[in-house]
Structure 1
Amino acid sequence: MDMSHIAQHAGTAGSLFATIFVVATATMRTMIPLRVFGILANVLLIAVSIPTHNYPTMALHAVLLPLNVWRLHQMLQLVRDVKKSVNGDLSMEWLKPFMTERKCAAGEELFYKDEKAEHMYYIVSGRFRLVESGIELPVGAIVGELGMLSPSNTRTQTLECIEAGVVLGVSYRQVEELYVQNPEFGFYFLRLASARLFQNIETLEARLAQAHLPVPAQVVSDTA
């Protein structure tokens, strides 16, 4: 059997296995396994195309291979960073690649109390304040993420820019897509949001405790 027949049989076998991988990708419900099988299919089809001189197929999968590798890297990095955020300082740095920049002028209101909530924001620079509570949010803070979990999806406060700055915004739809694509990401996002909610409750309890502190005796005597 000459080399041409060997190449032909190898190409047929390779195409069969590549077809199996392609079909497998269609059955995947989550993004990471889909990308892994996509990469395997790309590599196999490139290998099959070389001895059979199928250059169009080789060129196509040579383009798709780095794209699949990059998307897989992004998703794995996303999962790692979310885990780190949950166990660490609750940073939202992992979400930046999926967010859109928005410049805000002093006096501009990003959203109003009782309006429908559709986005959450990451503060990059400037100064922002929640009007009703008077709380000023620092650079690096995330705001608006709990509206996604609210049954009514409405804002509980107004967010105002008090000094020009930049925020990064992401829609709830994008977050939901990430959740569907990768349930592990969704699980850690829910843990992250829950941790933030408990932080808010602890802050409120601390303020209530301070408000009910007894007046020191020295202060009473000084004012008598």
Structure 2
Amino acid sequence: MEFITTHHTIEAVGWIAVLLKLATFSMTSMVWLRVLVILSSTCFIIYSALFQIWPLLAIEVILLAVNAYRLYELIALRRLVTHMTDESEPDFSAAMAYGKKRVIQSGDVLFEKGDPVDSLYYLAEGRVEIEGQNVTVPAGNIFGEMAFFNSSAARMATVRCVEDTVVYELNEKRFTRLQYEDPKFAMGVMRLVTKRLVANAAQTQET
């Protein structure tokens, strides 16, 4: 009698796992989707271990680890978005790990207005001037990113180095990869682009 009761209990755990798995198809929130998948995998692990269904046990252990990590990423991204304020300075230094290093002499032009768009730049050392806009970009910032969001696909201004400069050049492929792999960088770019668009709009209204 005790064996039958135990058997039914284990089987009930398996059915709970199935129901949780089915419930994931109705989730619209990625966080709750991951939570339900983790709970389902946990129940399947208990069920398959007690019934010694080794293939099922192996796949559910792997899925548990993968979904636990994905849940951690989602929570970390939410915390990042919550704690980022307009006063905090974005950190673009991750571009150095993805970009191609270039050393440019003072007075040299990095690109000219009308040039085709092929890269954006992280300014590691030195200073550059955006001609015609009376804007100087100091080290620690990115520039040239606006062209990636412009349908004309042409540079909107000439950029000249006013000091000996070290930049890291990222083409569109590397830029896209960095945004996916570093959410903090992506959020910084979004904030910067938004600020520059608002500033440009305000300048246009004044003129």
User: Alignment length, in residue pairs?
Assistant: 192
Whether 2:101 is the aligned partner of 1:104: answer yes
Q: Which residue of 2 aligns with 1:163?
A: 165
Whether 2:73 is the aligned partner of 1:71: answer no
Alpha-carbon offset, residue 70 of structure 1: 1.7
Whether 2:47 is the aligned partner of 1:45: answer no
Q: Distance in 1 between matches of 2:127 and 2:154?
A: 19
Q: Distance in 2 between matches of 1:30 and 1:145?
A: 31
TM-score (norm 2): 0.63
Q: Distance in 1 between matches of 2:159 and 2:27?
A: 41
Change in 2 beyond 3 A, CA 1:112/1:31: farther
Q: Distance in 2 between matches of 1:32 and 1:143?
A: 34
Alpha-carbon offset, residue 22 of structure 1: 1.9
TM-score (norm 1): 0.59
Whether 2:129 is the aligned partner of 1:137: answer no
Per-residue CA distance 1:105-142 (angstroms, 9 max, x = gap): 1359589757468x866x37244646444644334424
Structure 1 contact 14–44 (Cα < 8 Å) conserved: yes
Structure 2 contact 125–140 (Cα < 8 Å) conserved: no
RMSD of aligned residue pairs (Cα, Å): 4.4
Q: Which residue of 2 aligns with 1:125?
A: 124
Structure 1's unaligned 5+ residue stretches are 179-184, 209-224
Change in 2 beyond 3 A, CA 1:90/1:34: farther
Alpha-carbon offset, residue 190 of structure 1: 6.7
Per-residue CA distance 1:73-111 (angstroms, 9 max, x = gap): 122211221222234315256x959x9711231359589
Secondary structure class of the residue paired with 2:100: strand
Q: Which residue of 2 aligns with 1:27?
A: 26
1:190-205 matches, cutoff 5 A: 193-195=193-195, 197-198=197-198
Structure 1 contact 115–154 (Cα < 8 Å) conserved: yes
Question: What letter matches 1:89 in structure 2?
Answer: S
Structure 2 contact 117–148 (Cα < 8 Å) conserved: no
Q: Distance in 2 between matches of 1:196 and 1:102?
A: 23
Per-residue CA distance 1:142-175 (angstroms, 9 max, x = gap): 4456556656676534567862343675329x66
Identity %: 24
Q: Distance in 2 between matches of 1:189 and 1:33?
A: 28
